[in-house]
Structure 1
C-alpha cells in the first residue's frame, strides 16, 4: 500500500514538473491590438481553450500596456512569443530580429494587407482642406496613424490639433453610422468594414463619400517567436495553420477572426518601412 502511495505521489509530482517545464507565454500589446480590455480577455480565454484543444497545454497570455516592458520581457525570455504593432517593431528592428526565429502576421481578413478610407457624409461640405473643428471617429490605431501622416503633411500639425474631438469607437458599425447621420463628422474605416457594411445595407453607399484612400500597405499587428522557445511548442504555429486550413478561420472574439498566420518577408514590408520612416520624420517636426 505504501509503495502504491509513493508511485501515485511520484506520478503527480512528475506531472507538476512537466507542466512547469512545458509552458509557453505569449505577450500582447493589448490596447493597440484590441479595442477594449473586455475584448482582450475574451480573446485570451478563447485562445487558451483553443490551444488546449489542439494539444498544447499551459499556453498563457500576458497583456502589456507598455511596449518597452513587452520587449524587455521578450529579450529576457519571460515571454517566448509577442504580438505588437508595426510601429513598435520598426523602432526596435535590430533588437527584435536578433532574438527571433520567426516573424509573422495574423491576418484578420482574407487579404494580407489592409487599406483605410477617410469617409464623410455625402451632403457634407467637408474637404481635406477644411478639417478644422470637425469630429473624427476611429477604431484601428494604424488607420489613425495613416490619417495623422496626411494631416501633418497638409496642416503642419498633428491630427489632435486639427479636429475638435477625436473619438475612439468601440463598435465598428458606429464608424459608418456616425457619418451617415452627421455632416460634421468623419471616420477612418478599413476597406473591409466599409465593404461589409455596404453589403448589409447598400443604401450606405449613396450617403457616404470616400474623401481619401490609403495604399494597401497596412497590418494590424505583427508577431515574433523567440529562438529560445521551448521545443515542445516549436511546431505550434505550423499546427495552427493546418487547423485553419481545415476550418477556414479561428474566431477570437465577436469582431475578430484570424484567417491566417503568415510569415512575412523583408521585401513585403518595404512599403511599411517607407511609410513609418516618413511618418516618424513628420512627428519629429510637427507633433
Structure 2
C-alpha cells in the first residue's frame, strides 16, 4: 500500500494538470538512487513509468515517459550532457561536485524534513560517559542510508580531520547503515551501539514522542545546516510545463493525500532554489578538501 501511494503520488507530483507539449517527445525523469531509500527501486521505476505513460498521453499529448534510476551521478552524466533528461533529482553534494559539467538548472530544493536545510546530530548514550569523538575510536556507529547518511559522514570526516584523527572508515570498527532514523537511535538508547548520526528534527521528534529518548541520548556534536536534494530541469524545457510542475509541488503540503507522499520521503516542503542554499555545504566540502590535503602531506 505504501509503495502504491508513493508511485501514485509521484505521478501526480510531476504531472498535475494539462500542459500542451509537442508530440513526438518522451518526457524523461532521472533519479539518483541516493535520494530515496526503503523502496524497491525497480518496482518503483516500473510502476511509476506505467502511470506516467497514461498521464502524459492523456494530458500532455506526449508519446510517453521514461523513468531512469541511476546508481550514482556518474552514471547519469552523459544523459545530462546530451540533454536526454527533462528533470533530474539528485543530492546537493553531487550537484556541487559536477555542476560545471552538467547541463541542468536547479529550480527546487527539498529538505529531508520540515525546512529546506537540515542539521545533523551525533548522539551517544549518557551512561557511556563519552565526552569527545576521540573516545569513539574502534567503536561502532549507525547512520541512515542514502543522501542523509552521506552528508552526515562527510561532516563527520571533516570533524575527525580537524582533530587530526583518521576518517570515519578507519576510525570506527563498524559503520552500519539503516533505513530509518529510529533504527539508528534505538540501539544507542538501549546500549547496543556506541553512537549514531541522525537529522536533528528526527531526534527532536522522537524525544517529543518519548521524553526518555531526550534524557538518555546526549548530543555530542551538531552540524551546520545543509540542503539535501535538488530538482533540476533541462535548459530549454517548455516554460509552461516547468512552471506547472513547480507550482504543483509547492502546493503539495496543502493537500492531505500529497502530504502523505512527501512524508514517505521524510519531506514536508519543497522550496524554490537559490544559490545561498548551498553555501554551508560548499564551505564544508572546501574545508574537507583542505584538511585532506594537509593530512596527506604530514
TM-score, shorter chain, exceeding 0.5: yes
Q: CA deviation at 1:67?
A: 1.3
Report the equivalent of 2:27: 24
Alignment counterpart, residue 247 of structure 1, candidates 249, 255, 259: 255
Q: CA deviation at 1:231?
A: 5.8
On the 8 A contact 2:32/2:72 being kept in 1, the answer is: yes
For 1:166, the equivalent position in structure 2 comes to 175
Question: Which contiguous aligned blocks of 4+ residues in structure 1 show a shift greater than 6 angstroms?
Answer: none
Q: Where does residue 40 of structure 2 map in the other structure?
A: 38
The 5 Å alignment of 1:1-287 reads 21-30=24-33, 32-36=34-38, 38=40, 41-42=43-44, 45=47, 49=51, 52=55, 55=59, 58-96=64-102, 99-126=103-130, 127-139=132-144, 140=148, 141-182=150-191, 185-215=194-224, 217-229=225-237, 233-241=241-249, 243-244=251-252, 246-247=254-255, 249-252=258-261, 255-286=264-295
SS of 1:198's equivalent in the other structure is: helix
Does structure 1 conserve the Cα–Cα contact (< 8 Å) formed by 2:187 and 2:193? Answer: no
Check the 8 A contact 1:180/1:208 in 2, yes or no.
yes
Cα distance change of structure 1 residues 173 and 252 upon mapping to structure 2, 3 Å threshold: same
- Give ranges in structure 2 of 5+ residues lacking alignment: 1-20
Cα RMSD for the two superposed structures: 3.1
Given that residues 121 and 200 in structure 2 are in contact (C-alpha distance below 8 angstroms), is that contact kept between their aligned partners in structure 1?
yes
Q: What TM-score, normalized to structure 2?
A: 0.77
Say if 2:117 and 2:277, in contact at 8 Å, map to a contact too. Answer: no
Alignment partners' CA distance in 1, 2:294 and 2:181: 32
Q: Per the alignment, do residues 65 and 242 of structure 1 end up closer, same or farther by CA in structure 2, a change over 3 Å counting?
A: closer
Cα distance in 1 for partners of 2:200, 2:32 equals 24
- The Cα of 1:43 is off from its aligned counterpart by 8.2
| Secondary structure, counterpart of 2:127 in structure 1 | coil
Q: Which of the two has higher C-alpha Rg?
A: 1
SS of corresponding position for 2:136: coil
**Shift in Å at residue 276 of structure 1?**
1.2
Say if 1:121 and 1:183, in contact at 8 Å, map to a contact too.
no
Q: Distance in 2 between the 1:117 and 1:240 partners?
A: 32
Partner of 1:5: none
Cα shift at 1:109: 2.1
Q: How far 1:282 sits from its partner (Å)?
A: 3.0
Query: 2-side partners of 1:113 and 1:47: how far apart?
Result: 30
Structure 1 residue 157 displacement after superposition: 1.9
Seen in structure 2, the aligned counterparts of structure 1 residues 137 and 61 have a Cα distance that, compared at 3 Å, is same
Secondary structure (helix, strand or coil) at the match of 2:30 reads strand
Mapped to 2, the partners of 1:43 and 1:115 lie a distance apart of 30
Compute the displacement of 1:64 (Å): 0.6
* Pairs aligned (count): 266
